[in-house]
A = this chain, B = another copy of it.
């Protein structure tokens, strides 16, 4: 027995019933929505608009506007998300450079903007533009020497601490939900959970501001994950402007899915990858209509960001790379090794980070979030400054590691010994022996790798906005670049080895270390998040060619397999479990052989199910029942000791209906009888006016038999998005006084089902946790 929730039942009866009272159809905070019901409410709304639209031209225009509002919301989300991303990029650029110095011509210029007029174009000389002054130059007029170094060091640490302190204070005071990457919570919200304020305006504002601060402070975190949260806040804001979305939690989630796509789109400049990320990683209910709209929102966002042009290069993508040489089959081996590294890093990171976060939750550590942030920032800044690869911002680092060494490149990583006889073509430089700079860079990179691995574990999860994409990619890019340089030098010095002989002749450009960095980055990101298609597509959009998709895919597949071998959960699922959110993963398979009867409440020995009767309980009785229990709803039966089910009433709507009736309806007192039947019961003459509640009764709640395998029940909960379902049994026990022949006759025309119990989403999740040998009490919300 199946039904679409109270509204559809009541939808049919709307004409001869009272006006709907306020807040009906809304949900309490930290509760799960009923997708079937939301969907049927939207169909009702749609039907009403369609039938009205035939009445007058004005109504017809209104119906058109309603149909178009989805596209308008997408456009607005795209514009706002793109703008915010652009502003964040510009601000981060400026504030990151502020830690090192200031621009004399205008203090709000970043180092690069300040030196745009300067003639120096190479990477090393960029520092020497006269308008840009390091703090030591400005304060004590020294640019070299130990004291200048120490002064700059101190200023760097001070600014970092200032930014971090500001950020954590803002988050604590104004918007506690602005912390973290937000993706675990957004996944949970999209799966049908209510967290009020999580996507609110304050969260949007504070997250945007603090994101700039924390990224600038040099902590090992990225802005890409939080940008998804920011975009979803935009989505929530704009959907609240249209009643189609603001009044329907299901429809609102369609908008949020699209907003998540727009967020990834601006984070990486990859609109298709963004849509696939939303589809694969974040969304729960993702109809094809939404796919198309998400794509639109993602494109608008990407083009808005490009027109702001924060990277100053008209490029859409975050890390634009162009390689000049193809890859060779033999290189698949190091690529797969990088995949293994990525998987191991993913496992290590998730285990350590979750252990640390659990410690934070359960010990006194969690009581000093500001102090924690200050300490981590201080340690990060102190260790990071001496090493050029940790001092620069992480996205600059990744960008440098991804890049192929062109002929004019002057960075330390490109310090190769050139053949003096060689004419210098712009592309296609043959492999060369490494110079001193490269060897120095290798040491520094190795130290940076260890530092990033350790510090990221402690950073992610603090009470500040913090994304994981960039640190993970940095770890992978460092490892990849090191492996790439290794392979390159091996191939240069040992052309005659059998593995190189076929594809790497002397004087050829066979190995591109930048590609290894990219493959490593994809592997590490995949190991942590367990993304697959979207990861490859995002990386494909960065390189813009299908050429390098095979290495990326090989690494992503390997990394996922290696990581999955140690534990199925990605970092986001792990954080969802840590926080006990009621998230029913569509990707999980439930393979146990339990039955509905093993999961339903009440268990054996527990008190019987709390039920309402259809026409004999008073308002006071119900209020007491509501006060004494915390169930989300009650089956309605014919009489108190009867198990004959007539429907299901939601707790929240009972409360609202009683409150509303007490306020507005005359004659409703504590001992008024509440009835769910069509007609009021026959009452004694002087009894108070009864209260009709058929409107909030779901006439056909979803039921399963007690023998239904849990596998199917889980499937139904997932696919139909239920909140609860009732369990019945095809059993019958006749009272002793009936004759056998009478019993036989009874059996000829009725099918008997006893109401046995109820299964809620929480019960399902707890059961799944139990089956997976986890603590069922970790599922906290319903």
Which residues of A come within 8 Å of B, CB atoms?
Answer: 1-4, 8-9, 12, 36, 39-40, 43, 46-47, 50, 271-272, 275, 280, 287-289, 291-292, 295-296, 299, 302-303, 316, 532-533, 536-537, 540-541, 544-546, 549-550, 553, 557, 586-587, 589, 591, 593, 638-639, 641-646, 699-700, 703-705, 707-709, 711-713, 715-716, 719-720, 728, 730, 732-735, 737-738, 742, 745-755
Quick one: closest B residue to A590, CB to CB? B43
Residues A638 and B712 in contact, CB atoms below 8 Å apart? no
Closest 9 CB pairs of A and B: A4-B712, A750-B752, A642-B748, A292-B532, A644-B751, A751-B753, A700-B705, A719-B719, A2-B704
- Knowing A272-B537, A292-B533, the reply to whether A750 touches B754 (Cβ < 8 A) is yes
Residues of B within 8 A of A2 (CB): 2, 703-705, 708, 712-713, 716
Residues of B within 8 A of A296 (CB): 553, 557
Query: Oligomeric state, in number of copies?
Result: 2
Residues A8 and B549 in contact, CB atoms below 8 Å apart? no
Residues B536 and A712 in contact, CB atoms below 8 Å apart? no
Residues of B within 8 A of A291 (CB): 280, 532-533
A732 to B46, CA, bound (A): 36
Quick one: closest B residue to A37, CB to CB? B712
A700 to B728, CA, bound (A): 11
Residues of B within 8 A of A712 (CB): 2-4, 8, 36, 40
Quick one: closest B residue to A553, CB to CB? B299
Known contacts A47-B593, A541-B546; 7 additional CB pairs below 8 A are: A3-B704, A272-B540, A291-B532, A291-B533, A303-B550, A641-B748, A749-B754
Residues A12 and B715 in contact, CB atoms below 8 Å apart? no
Please indicate which of the listed interface residues A9, A292, A302, A716 has the most CB atoms of chain B within 10 Å of its own CB. A292
Residues B299 and A709 in contact, CB atoms below 8 Å apart? no
Q: How far is the CB of A144 from chain B (nearest CB, A)?
A: 45
- Knowing A642-B748, A711-B43, A715-B36, the reply to whether A295 touches B536 (Cβ < 8 A) is yes
Chosen A-B contacts, 24 in total, with CB atoms closer than 8 Å, are A1-B708, A2-B704, A2-B712, A2-B716, A3-B705, A4-B709, A8-B711, A12-B593, A40-B711, A40-B712, A46-B591, A288-B587, A295-B553, A299-B550, A316-B546, A638-B747, A643-B748, A644-B751, A644-B752, A699-B707, A700-B704, A700-B705, A719-B720, A734-B746
- Knowing A8-B712, A540-B272, the reply to whether A750 touches B735 (Cβ < 8 A) is no
- Knowing A3-B705, A709-B40, the reply to whether A751 touches B747 (Cβ < 8 A) is no
Residues of B within 8 A of A639 (CB): 747-748
Residues of B within 8 A of A275 (CB): 533
- Residue from the list B39, B591, B753 in contact with A43, Cβ < 8 A: B591
A732 to B3, CA, bound (A): 21
- Knowing A46-B591, A533-B295, A753-B751, the reply to whether A4 touches B644 (Cβ < 8 A) is no
A644 to B748, CA, bound (A): 7
Residues B720 and A751 in contact, CB atoms below 8 Å apart? no
Residues of B within 8 A of A737 (CB): 742
Residues B747 and A703 in contact, CB atoms below 8 Å apart? no
Quick one: closest B residue to A292, CB to CB? B532
A638 to B707, CA, bound (A): 18
Q: How far is the CB of A11 from chain B (nearest CB, A)?
A: 8
- Knowing A709-B4, A711-B43, A712-B2, the reply to whether A745 touches B735 (Cβ < 8 A) is yes
- Knowing A533-B295, A730-B645, A750-B732, the reply to whether A715 touches B720 (Cβ < 8 A) is yes
Quick one: closest B residue to A1, CB to CB? B705
A742 to B703, CA, bound (A): 27
Residues A700 and B711 in contact, CB atoms below 8 Å apart? no
A751 to B291, CA, bound (A): 44
Residues A708 and B642 in contact, CB atoms below 8 Å apart? no
A2 to B39, CA, bound (A): 21
- Residue from the list B8, B645, B719, B748 in contact with A709, Cβ < 8 A: B8
- Residue from the list B3, B299, B553, B708 in contact with A3, Cβ < 8 A: B708
Residues of B within 8 A of A720 (CB): 715-716, 719-720
Residues of B within 8 A of A12 (CB): 593, 709
A751 to B740, CA, bound (A): 20
Residues A4 and B752 in contact, CB atoms below 8 Å apart? no
Residues A589 and B43 in contact, CB atoms below 8 Å apart? yes
Residues A586 and B288 in contact, CB atoms below 8 Å apart? yes
A287 to B536, CA, bound (A): 18
Q: How far is the CB of A50 from chain B (nearest CB, A)?
A: 7
Residues of B within 8 A of A545 (CB): 544
A709 to B10, CA, bound (A): 11
Residues B711 and A707 in contact, CB atoms below 8 Å apart? no
Residues of B within 8 A of A292 (CB): 532-533
Q: How far is the CB of A742 from chain B (nearest CB, A)?
A: 7
A401 to B363, CA, bound (A): 70
Residues of B within 8 A of A4 (CB): 708-709, 711-712, 715
Residues of B within 8 A of A288 (CB): 280, 532, 586-587
- Residue from the list B36, B272, B302, B728 in contact with A751, Cβ < 8 A: B728
A713 to B720, CA, bound (A): 11
Residues of B within 8 A of A700 (CB): 704-705, 707-708
A650 to B141, CA, bound (A): 91
Residues A750 and B644 in contact, CB atoms below 8 Å apart? yes
A121 to B273, CA, bound (A): 40
Residues of B within 8 A of A591 (CB): 43, 46-47, 50
- Residue from the list B39, B644, B738 in contact with A747, Cβ < 8 A: B644
Residues of B within 8 A of A46 (CB): 589, 591
Q: How far is the CB of A600 from chain B (nearest CB, A)?
A: 13
Please indicate which of the listed interface residues A272, A532, A719 has the most CB atoms of chain B within 10 Å of its own CB. A272
A26 to B508, CA, bound (A): 59
Residues A753 and B754 in contact, CB atoms below 8 Å apart? no
- Residue from the list B289, B533, B708, B751 in contact with A752, Cβ < 8 A: B751
A117 to B625, CA, bound (A): 92
Residues of B within 8 A of A544 (CB): 544-545
Q: How far is the CB of A251 from chain B (nearest CB, A)?
A: 13
Residues of B within 8 A of A3 (CB): 704-705, 707-709, 712
